[in-house]
Structure 1
Amino acid sequence: MDSTGVGGQHRHARPDAVLEALDWTRVVVGTAARAIVATVVGLALWAAAPAVLGWQPTTVVTGSMAPRLTPGDVVVSRPVPEPDVVPGRVLLADDPDQPGHLRLHRYVEARDDGTLVTKGDANPAADSTPLDRSAVHGVGYLRVPWVGVPVAWAHEGRWGAVAGAAAVLAGLLALCAVDGGLRRAGREARGASAPPPPSGGTRVHGRRSARGPAVRDGSRAGARHAALRQGGALLVTVAVLGGVGLVAPDRAEAVPFAASTTSPPSRVTAAVMPGPTKVTCVSNGPGKGVTISWTKPNWAIRGYDVSWGGTRIASPDAAATSVVVTAGLLDITSGKITVRALDAGPGSVWSADGDAQPTVTVVTSLSLTCS
Structure 2
Amino acid sequence: MNQLLIEMLEQLNIHNLEELPNLNVYLLNRRVTCMTVSAIVEAIHTACFTKKKIVIAHYNAHGFNLSMQLPWFYNFLQEVEIAHCDGSGILKAMSYMGLELPIQYRASYTDLMPSLLQHCYQHGFSIFLLGSKPQHLEVALDRLRKRYPSLKLSGHHGYFKTDDPHQNETVIRQINSAKPDILIVGMGMPLQENWIRLHRDYLNVHAIMCGGAIIDRLAGVVRDCPKLLSNLGLEWLYRLCCEPKRLAARYLFGNPAFAFQVALAKLYGSQLKVECMRTTRYSCLKDRGSSNALSTCKLEYDSSAEIYSSTKHFGHCLVEAGLLTQAQVEIARSEQKSTGMNLDEVLLHKKWLNQQTIEYFKEKAVLLDRSMSLGASLHTKTTALL
* Same fold flag (TM > 0.5): no
Higher strand proportion, which one? 1
Q: Which has the higher contact order (CA 8 A, sep 6+)?
A: 2
TM category, shorter: under 0.3
Higher helix proportion, which one? 2
**Structure (1 or 2) with the larger CA radius of gyration:** 1
